[in-house]
Structure 1
Amino acid sequence: MKTKKLINDGAAAVDEMLAGILAAHPRHLRAVEGSPRSIIANEGPRPGKVGLIIGGGSGHEPTFLGFVGKGLADAAAIGNVFASPPPDPIIECAKAVDGGAGVLFMYGNYAGDVMNFDMAAEMLAMDDIEARTVLTTDDVASAPIDQRERRRGVAGNVFIFKAAGAACDLMYSLDEVERVARWANDRTYTMGVALSPCSLPQTLRPNFQLGDDEMEIGMGIHGEPGIARGPLRSADEVTAELLDRILGEMKPKRGDHVAVLVNSLGSTPLMELYIMMRKVKMTLDASGIEIHLSLVGNYCTSLEMAGASITLMHLDDELQRLIDHPCDCAMFRSGEVLR
């Protein structure tokens, strides 16, 4: 059975979406002339500042281009649905935001992204633009803790990009921005649950199958297999299992502070997310863990997939300051934005 989507042509969906986003957010975003998949912040890039470039496949909106703006990312390179951007738009992003202090690439740990961003970095070196990379690896379910370098980057990107973008905006050196980005990634943990599949605009077919009464713990944002499939359980039971796995690795102490994200994978509504948030707060309160910041909503989606993820960032004083730093993006704003 084909799914229903409000599109014109599946092959044109990404470019038509980008045209709509640029029409809606001209104060925040522009495309590089001649490179429509290279989206640049109107404010943010400036001489002497490290340029932060994020990117990846479409279908996860507002990740990635929704986090481009002052105080966060300077640019995003956009790929086809669930596909890495090729090197050319990445290179054009870097040239557009290079302020002479180098650029940092940040993206989820997926083979196609790694290959294309690495290729772009090699080509930029020929133009004397230094490009370094920090991969995000927050998906607890995707590999054991002793193989964290193999883990995927998922909704934790929001907090990890936020910390790195603040460091760039505060004019940290490239060495310091890279240090912050790696530390933020090391302190961020995500677990998710899928309830139903999504479908690509080109195929209009579900990209995996789940029974009417089934759920899958740990499924990836492209439909990668999770770690446990079984009968659908209550919101409190699912939230408790996701948090158990996160807290088992994080090992916070009483009095520690965290940032929390309860994220919809696409079609799960706010009602259900806030029911989960209620259980998150109850659980953390019982352990003496303080919530410094909470975000609830669509932050890293998988088209119309039903399900949710929970992310915790284990804050220290530096990460807390960076998370609180103002930003003004097309689809995400925080703090007292200075203009």
Structure 2
Amino acid sequence: MKKFINHVDTLLDESLRGFAKAHADLVEVSFSPRFVRRKEVAPGKVALISGGGAGHEPLHTGFVGRGMLDAACPGQVFTSPTPDQMLAAAEAVAGDQGVLFIVKNYAGDVMNFEMAAEMLDCPSRTVLVQDDIALPKEHEIGRRGVAGTTIVEKIVGAAAEEGRSLDDLKTLGDRVAENTASIGVALSGCHVPALGGPTFELPPDKIEFGVGIHGEHGREIAEFASATEIVKRMVEAINEELQPKRGDKVLLHVNGLGATTLMELYLVYELAHEFWHQEGVEIARSLVGNYTTALDMAGCSVTLTRLDDEMIRLWDAPVHTAALRWGYDHTGPNS
């Protein structure tokens, strides 16, 4: 396995030092305990905090900044951050208005964020993201949180920037999460540095349909097929789940899992867009690129969010982070 690595144990901190220097105008990084925070915390607002294992960049650290997160806590690769990281991050950025945690539904993340919330001296609420429809709703641990997390963080982050209350942000976050569905497909496994090899291997004629962002099994190992056939299965699954009506406005997000070219991702977007266009659904907003990766996994996910007018306005609101930025420099979200 060839990677730009000095040592597995130092990889995350060395990467974060580079991230902090590259975006010194936006963020500061603490290493003991480890978290990334906005360089200039806006007073009088609810603090938004998220986090999770490294390996999904730019999620979450790349979304720290104006209009999104106030802090993010990275764990080791595919490993939940610890409660002391979350507590330290909250204490560094929280004011009198409290803290909203945005949490992907994984057992370690949920447990550790809950522990941090219990230790906080200020009020807090949690938005749980469970957008991965590869698992059934009645699954014993619930559905996984995947690429839809970016959508939640952007919309809720804009509302927090406006000074909305903690309860309002919790209600909004839940509404966005409940109207978001994602499904992913892997063409190959990813290479975790600590393992020294792929998380799983697929024969040349197979794909993992419904793969998780840590390489977890999805719905099935399916036959490799044309892009048209694969995307058709993905969008039909999402359409059945969300059941958007003719005339509904939606956000379509095609997300790369780390090793898929933009050429391919825009092809996937074209196929997905055409499907919903034929259904009479209006693709009002879009996002294409690598935003919730799985290290170097080859594959992609498709996310659809049903939008209302408030959600559109908040999506369009200015944002300035390492990975998402528009509005402050007079550009638009789809420019």
TM above 0.5 = yes
CA contact (8 A) 2:16 2:29 kept: no
- Structure-2 residue corresponding to 1:142: 135
Is 2:36 the partner of 1:39? yes
Paired residue type of 1:173: S
- Structure-2 residue corresponding to 1:108: 104
Determine the C-alpha separation between the residues in 2 that align with 1:166 and 1:147: 32
Is 2:171 the partner of 1:173? no
- Structure-2 residue corresponding to 1:294: 286
CA contact (8 A) 2:33 2:88 kept: no
Which 5+ residue runs of structure 2 have no aligned equivalent?
331-335
Corresponding residue SS for 1:55? strand
CA deviation profile, 1:2-24 (whole Å, cap 9, x unmatched) = x2111111111111110110011
2:45 to 45, 49, 52: 49
CA deviation profile, 1:22-65 (whole Å, cap 9, x unmatched) = 01100111024x6352100123x333200000100000000010
RMSD: 1.4
Q: TM-score, normalised by structure 2?
A: 0.95
Q: TM-score, normalised by structure 1?
A: 0.94
Is 2:5 the partner of 1:7? yes
CA contact (8 A) 2:253 2:303 kept: yes
CA contact (8 A) 2:105 2:145 kept: yes
- Structure-2 residue corresponding to 1:19: 17
Check 1:149–1:291 CA distance in 2 against 1; reply closer, same or farther (3 A cut).
Answer: farther
Is 2:84 the partner of 1:88? yes
Determine the C-alpha separation between the residues in 2 that align with 1:225 and 1:103: 34
Determine the C-alpha separation between the residues in 2 that align with 1:41 and 1:35: 17
Paired residue type of 1:264: G
Corresponding residue SS for 1:104? strand
Paired residue type of 2:113: F
Paired residue type of 2:3: K
Paired residue type of 1:42: K
Paired residue type of 2:69: A
Determine the C-alpha separation between the residues in 1 that align with 2:249 and 2:139: 26
Paired residue type of 1:119: M
Determine the C-alpha separation between the residues in 2 that align with 1:50 and 1:148: 32
CA contact (8 A) 1:261 1:295 kept: yes
- Structure-2 residue corresponding to 1:152: 144
Determine the C-alpha separation between the residues in 2 that align with 1:139 and 1:97: 30
CA contact (8 A) 1:154 1:190 kept: yes
CA deviation profile, 1:86-138 (whole Å, cap 9, x unmatched) = 111111110111111000111210011111111111111xxx21222111100
Equivalent residues in 2 for 1:1-339, closer than 5 Å: 3-32=1-30, 35=32, 37-43=34-40, 45-124=41-120, 128-144=121-137, 146=138, 150-336=142-328
Paired residue type of 1:251: Q
- How many residue pairs match? The answer is 330
Determine the C-alpha separation between the residues in 2 that align with 1:72 and 1:98: 14
Corresponding residue SS for 1:140? coil
> Which 10-residue stretch deviates more, 181-190 or 45-54?
45-54
Shift of 1:149: 7.2
CA contact (8 A) 1:190 1:312 kept: yes
CA contact (8 A) 2:54 2:76 kept: yes
Which 5+ residue runs of structure 1 have no aligned equivalent?
none
Shift of 1:333: 0.9
Determine the C-alpha separation between the residues in 2 that align with 1:336 and 1:30: 20
Corresponding residue SS for 2:186? strand
CA contact (8 A) 1:11 1:201 kept: no
Identity %: 47
